[in-house]
Structure 1
Amino acid sequence: MSGIIKIAIVGPESTGKSTMSAYLANHYHTVWVPEYAREYCDALTEPPTWQDEINMFHGQIALENSLIPQANKILICDTTFITVKIWSDQMFGKAPQVVIDELSQHHYDYYLLLNIDLPWEDDPLRDFPNMREHFMQVWHKELQALNAPYIVISGIGDERYQSAVKAIDNFLKDHTI
């Protein structure tokens, strides 16, 4: 796995993470890891349980690991399992211990935290349209707790994409690939 730089695209709901991930993977001629929880939750007939959160954690890591060999120097990750921690904290008051234990062990080289400046788009898998500011603060707190290198990406349309490319290009200048 060495030699691959992992870029995580994170943020609250409806900030364009999947669209940004696809764009960046195309721009850098590499692959991107979709959000495992989206497909998992789409198949559920009831709200996610504690075990579902653990399953999504394991599924996200397995999906990421399966795509690393296809990456061209950079792997773009549409969210990370930190989302499982954030959702578990919100829904259950705590996160599964396996997730907490893995947080400091599972490394991402750089995070793009997508700002909440995009309009909310309804989606059956989105739950908190009125809590975007809260979750933006939670993301800052979680990334800071990990001492993770990150930058906030703002803007609409092409401006947002170009800000992300510029941030990654600046990061790559200091990191050999």
Structure 2
Amino acid sequence: MKSSESTNTGLVVGKFWPPHRGHQLLLETAAAQVAELVVLVYANPAGPGPAADRLPAATRAQWIRELYRGDELAQGPRIGTTPLRVFALSAEGDGVPPDAAPDDVHREFVRQWLARQGIAVATVFSSEAYGPGFAQHLGAAHVSVDAARRHVPVSGTLVRKNPLATAAYLHPLVAAQLGVVPPAAIPRVVLLGAESSGKSTLCAALAEACHTAWVPEYGRTLHEQKNGNLAYEDLLYIARRHAELEDEAAHKARKVLFCDTNAATTALYSYYYFHRCDPALQAMAAVCGQRYAHTFVCAPTVPFEQDGWRGPEALRSFQHGMILMQLDFYRIPYVLVEGSVAERVAQVRRALGMVDDA
């Protein structure tokens, strides 16, 4: 718990190539002990391997901001109540020294950069051996966080070497950028469908029939919370938050977890509302075929219900077609379900081999 007397600024410096759960432990531990946390993301070259040009420091810094943004975009990223200031530094714009430069060169570079920004750092947090000397050069205290990697046994080097084998140590948003999916504790079944196609009702009914948990569509929750005034940046946040809610619900599920909507549908809405889609959201959409063990699509044949949040009924058929096109594009097999709620429940349970499950 953060002390009420904590008024200092903390500092974390690293490549974050890519950000992993160990980095998150470091950031969250630091944020609990300071009033403000400054994070510097840099490397020279920009990042190890050929993907450096595609995923530069600025992109990795944005991932960190996205991991810690909340419902209110204007507040900026924060961990708990601690504001998070994330900076991406480059060799061209900031004079970042080469990675191979001596420690003293890097220490002095950071000291001068902080001075130019008017940032006074009281505490440096790190998980590396260079931490104490670095902090001393800045005239700051040092706090070591899981330097032995006992709590989170991973490193950026290990992730770059084998993203699939280390996916368990990656947030779903970050893992998707590397084309992998963290292993699931329990199979996930996703239900898709146009507005007012009965998917939320079916999800709840399936969870009850199978004595398990289900995850409501977070996009609907935020849409109502913001009175329908979603911003472009909210769509990636919706996908990220929905993935987190799925991970949380998986611990309470029995045999299977039912999920109302996925990131691919969120990407469709991003194009529908804003005619564009964040590359990070595109990446989350692209791995939906790996994330979910089964995909079902609700036919738009139930009576249309206008609840004040939905588009016109005429749009429903178009939405249905777009969902099917997207599934075909990603080569995701699916089952179309029709009829009453009871009939749809039976169709899904038969497809899952759960007819006799109790």
The TM-score, its normalising length taken from structure 2, stands at 0.45
Give the match for residue 345 of structure 2.
161
Give the letter aligned to residue 100 of structure 1: Q
Residue in structure 2 matched with residue 121 of structure 1 by the alignment: 305
Note the 1:12-161 alignment, pairs <5 A: 12-45=194-227, 47-106=229-288, 107-161=291-345
Contact 2:187-2:257 at 8 Å conserved across structures:
yes
* Match in the other structure for 2:188: 6
- The equivalent residue for 1:175 is none
Match of 1:174 in 2: none
Q: CA deviation at 1:126?
A: 1.1
SS of match in other structure, 2:188: strand
Once residues 323 and 337 of structure 2 are traced to their aligned partners in structure 1, the CA distance between those partners, rounded to angstroms, is 13
Aligned-pair identity (%): 26
Alpha-carbon separation, structure 1, partners of 2:303 and 2:325: 23
Are the equivalent residues in 1 in contact too, given 2:267–2:285 (CA < 8 A)?
no
How far apart are residue 39 of structure 1 and its match? 1.3
Q: Which structure: greater helix fraction?
A: 1
CA distance in 2, matches of 1:66, 1:120: 32
Change in 2 beyond 3 A, CA 1:2/1:64: closer
Cα–Cα, structure 1 residues 94 and 113, in superposed 2: closer, same or farther, change >3 Å? same
Partners of 1:113 and 1:153 within 8 A in 2:
yes
- TM-score, normalised to structure 1, is 0.88
Aligned amino acid, residue 97 of structure 1: P
**Aligned counterparts of 1:59 and 1:16: Cα–Cα separation in 2:** 22
- Per the alignment, do residues 63 and 142 of structure 1 end up closer, same or farther by CA in structure 2, a change over 3 Å counting? same
The answer (yes or no) to whether the contact 1:109–1:149 under 8 Å persists in 2 is no
C-alpha deviation, 1:46, in angstroms: 5.0
Q: Which amino acid aligns with 1:18?
A: S
Aligned residues: CA RMSD = 1.6
> Deviation of residue 125 (structure 1)?
1.9
Aligned-partner Cα distance in 2 for 1:59–1:2: 16
CA contact (8 A) 1:85 1:95 kept: yes
Name the amino acid aligned to 1:37: G
Residue deviations 1:88-119 (CA, integer Å, cap 9, x gap): 11111122211111223341111110000111
Report if aligned partners of 1:3, 1:73 keep a CA contact under 8 Å in 2: no
| SS of corresponding position for 1:40 | helix
List gaps (5 residues or longer) in structure 1.
Answer: 171-177
User: What is the identity, as a one-letter code, of the residue corresponding to 1:156?
Assistant: S
Amino acid at match of 2:219: A
Q: Distance in 2 between matches of 1:81 and 1:16?
A: 19
Q: Which amino acid aligns with 1:99?
A: L
CA separation in 2, counterparts of 1:35 and 1:11? 12
Read off the aligned partner of 2:337 and give its amino acid letter.
Answer: I
3-state secondary structure, aligned to 1:121: coil
What residue identity is the alignment partner of 2:306? D
User: Are 2:213 and 2:252, in contact at CA under 8 Å, matched by a contact in 1?
Assistant: yes
What is the DSSP-based 3-state SS (H/G/I as helix, E as strand, rest coil) of the residue aligned with 2:251?
A: helix
Separation in structure 2 between the aligned mates of residue 35 and residue 73 of structure 1, nearest angstrom: 21
Q: Which has the larger radius of gyration?
A: 2
